[in-house]
Structure 1
Amino acid sequence: MAVSSSSSAQQARQSLAKRLAELRRDAGLTGRDIARLCGWHPSKSSRIENARTPPSAEDIRAWCRVCGAPGQADDLVASLRTVEDMWVAWRRMERAGLRQAQEARQPLYERTRRFRSYSSWLVPGMIQTHAYTVATLRAIQRRRGLVDDVAEAVAARMERRRLLYEGDHRFAFLIEESVLRSGIGGTEVMIGQLGHLIAVGSLPNVSLGVVPMKPDRERWPVEGFWIYDAAQVNVELVSGYLTITQPTEVAMYSETFAELTELAVHGARARALITSAMEALG
């Protein structure tokens, strides 16, 4: 299991480790006893209990068996899966292709009513054009050496866009001005994408803000993230996909979004920046 720096993931790992330690104590065993009975190196049980080494599902089942509590193994393995899902390396998320990775997020989008998205790298997927999405996912597929299901993945993302136009979903998008001026797919694709941003920004349930490039801004760009209602944050990093549910961390991202919103321009001023970027492209 990959280890992330998120306190949400760390707290979940520590909670699992604590439950395993409680089982050991209830069974009247020491850490060395656990290691001996499971056939492990003497230090392994200590590393697991101190959340320094993540256990495997097999480790958990062996632990429960020697503690005389095999009936608790399934629940603890389920907890392990929850911890693993907080931090997912791209290679694991996309091992079956990009389409599955796109479709896996659909239930979260369906149940969310208030979306907040900040992007410092690319136009957010929800407001991408078909051509921009093709260029983006094709670049990912080639860079990571994935199976070629780009057409199916694009279709899945395009299907998600219907939420912009139906139901009671509300969206707030913030993008850095640099995203308007440095893109993917070439001039024609970028011009089409910028024109689409102007159209999307006019929807009654959408707020579109652009954070201008300035030499003296008070809040620097950060990693791109999505906030789903007030319950969950997803962060896309170079190495993987982070899910945050710890309320204090969710609040930090909400505060960051609010600070970036204060720096952004909206309405006519945002459209002027988008139009300027289009003109610069020719």
Structure 2
Amino acid sequence: MSTDFQSGREALGARLGELRAETGLNGKEFAGLLGWQRSKVSRLQNGRQTASPADLEAWAAAAGRPDAAADLLARLRGLESQQRHWRRQLAAGDAPVQDRYVMEYRRTTTMRGYEPTVVPGLFQTPDYARHLMAQNAELMCSPRDTEAAVQARMRRQEVLYEAGKLFRVLVWEGALHAVVGGRQVMAGQLDRLVGLIGMSTVELGVVPLGALMRVTPKHGFWIFDEQRVVVETINTELQYDSADDLALYGRVWDRLHAAAVSGPQAHRLIARARAVVAAA
């Protein structure tokens, strides 16, 4: 969880604590008024749990301050769309960001992801990753630590070989045809994808260009252990952990998965892209 996100949750908890204190009730008494366990009041006040909109409305009513509900809900909306701007994250280069991802992936047991424009970092070859990171450093005007960042991204891939992990990843077929780093780099990257098919920890699906879609692809996203969604835009990384957002992104992934192909069919789509690269 990001420091910015946790700081925001703690600030919301502090405001809840102020409202409770105004009632003159202690945590146990306030929990009884709400019909909750005392531990829930403690977790919310200390920023160890994210409140739901219903929790905040109930809290404001119990505190005798229904007028405070709007402010609490606004704070929650800001928290749920917590942003980590890339310019700030990349101030010290790409390698520290990749190292953070290494730790996050090691803590994750099951992941569902979708990428519409590039091969996911979890599956990238060093050459493919190197070109992407060099391009990004130039675009973001960030320090050039490309080799260290590539090494960190390769360390992230060690989780693919850990028993008990499962990475369910969907890739838009167009990403297989977007040439990164030239013909030889793309050929090696596509060969790498073929080698992942059949791994016990990987479920790789390709959404064909001509598939009948129940939802249109918009941007990539990753669901970590059904507890947190990470969305990357050009300038920002967004994190969501509300039940509504998790359910929404889960439904989007399910619909994309229904349109995707895997196994031999995915192999054929990758081979088709490989043939186009070879003929270029």
Q: Which amino acid aligns with 2:12?
A: S
Q: Which amino acid aligns with 1:229?
A: D
Unaligned runs of 5+ in 1: 1-7, 28-48, 55-78
Deviation at 1:95, TM superposition (A): 1.2
CA RMSD between the two structures: 3.2
1:143 aligns with 2:139: yes
C-alpha change, 1:218 and 1:255, in structure 2 (3 Å) is closer
Choose from 244, 250, 255 the match for 1:254: 250
Spell out, residue by residue over 1:7-32, the C-alpha distance to the aligned partner (whole angstroms, 9 max, x if none).
x99x95993684487389679xxxxx
Unaligned runs of 5+ in 2: 25-69
Choose from 216, 231, 239 the match for 2:227: 231
Choose from 260, 264, 267 the match for 1:264: 260
Deviation at 1:272, TM superposition (A): 0.6
Distance in 1 (CA, whole Å) between partners of 2:19 and 2:123 is: 48
Distance in 1 (CA, whole Å) between partners of 2:205 and 2:81 is: 31
Aligned residue for 2:203, secondary structure, equals: strand
Choose from 190, 203, 210 the match for 1:207: 203
1:133 aligns with 2:133: no
Aligned residue for 1:105, secondary structure, equals: helix
**Could you tell which deviates more after superposition, 210-219 or 251-260?**
210-219
Q: Which amino acid aligns with 2:122?
A: M
Spell out, residue by residue over 1:47-75, the C-alpha distance to the aligned partner (whole angstroms, 9 max, x if none).
xx947998xxxxxxxxxxxxxxxxxxxxx
1:165 aligns with 2:174: no
**In the alignment, is the contact (CA less than 8 A) between 2:214 and 2:256 conserved in 1?**
no
TM-score normalised to structure 2 length: 0.73
Distance in 1 (CA, whole Å) between partners of 2:154 and 2:235 is: 25
Q: Which residue of 2 aligns with 1:33?
A: none
Spell out, residue by residue over 1:164-206, the C-alpha distance to the aligned partner (whole angstroms, 9 max, x if none).
1123111111000100111311111111101100001221221
Q: Which residue of 2 aligns with 1:103?
A: 99
1:279 aligns with 2:270: no
**In the alignment, is the contact (CA less than 8 A) between 2:212 and 2:259 conserved in 1?**
no
**In the alignment, is the contact (CA less than 8 A) between 1:17 and 1:51 conserved in 2?**
no
**In the alignment, is the contact (CA less than 8 A) between 1:114 and 1:170 conserved in 2?**
yes
* 1:66-105 pair list within 5 angstroms: 83=79, 86-105=82-101
C-alpha change, 1:117 and 1:21, in structure 2 (3 Å) is same
Choose from 179, 182, 189 the match for 2:178: 182
TM-score normalised to structure 1 length: 0.72
**In the alignment, is the contact (CA less than 8 A) between 1:14 and 1:51 conserved in 2?**
no
Deviation at 1:92, TM superposition (A): 1.2
Deviation at 1:140, TM superposition (A): 0.4
Q: Which residue of 1 aligns with 2:151?
A: 155
**In the alignment, is the contact (CA less than 8 A) between 1:13 and 1:83 conserved in 2?**
no
Distance in 2 (CA, whole Å) between partners of 1:216 and 1:266 is: 16
Distance in 2 (CA, whole Å) between partners of 1:148 and 1:84 is: 32
Q: Which amino acid aligns with 1:22?
A: L
Deviation at 1:117, TM superposition (A): 1.2
Q: Which amino acid aligns with 1:134?
A: R
Count of aligned residue pairs for this structure pair: 229
Distance in 2 (CA, whole Å) between partners of 1:213 and 1:53 is: 40
Identical positions, percent:
30
Deviation at 1:106, TM superposition (A): 2.3
Aligned residue for 2:205, secondary structure, equals: strand
Q: Which residue of 2 aligns with 1:240?
A: 236
Deviation at 1:102, TM superposition (A): 0.8
Distance in 2 (CA, whole Å) between partners of 1:211 and 1:85 is: 27
**In the alignment, is the contact (CA less than 8 A) between 2:95 and 2:145 conserved in 1?**
yes
Q: Which residue of 1 aligns with 2:118?
A: 122
Aligned residue for 1:199, secondary structure, equals: helix
Q: Which residue of 1 aligns with 2:35?
A: none
C-alpha change, 1:141 and 1:100, in structure 2 (3 Å) is same
Distance in 1 (CA, whole Å) between partners of 2:145 and 2:12 is: 38
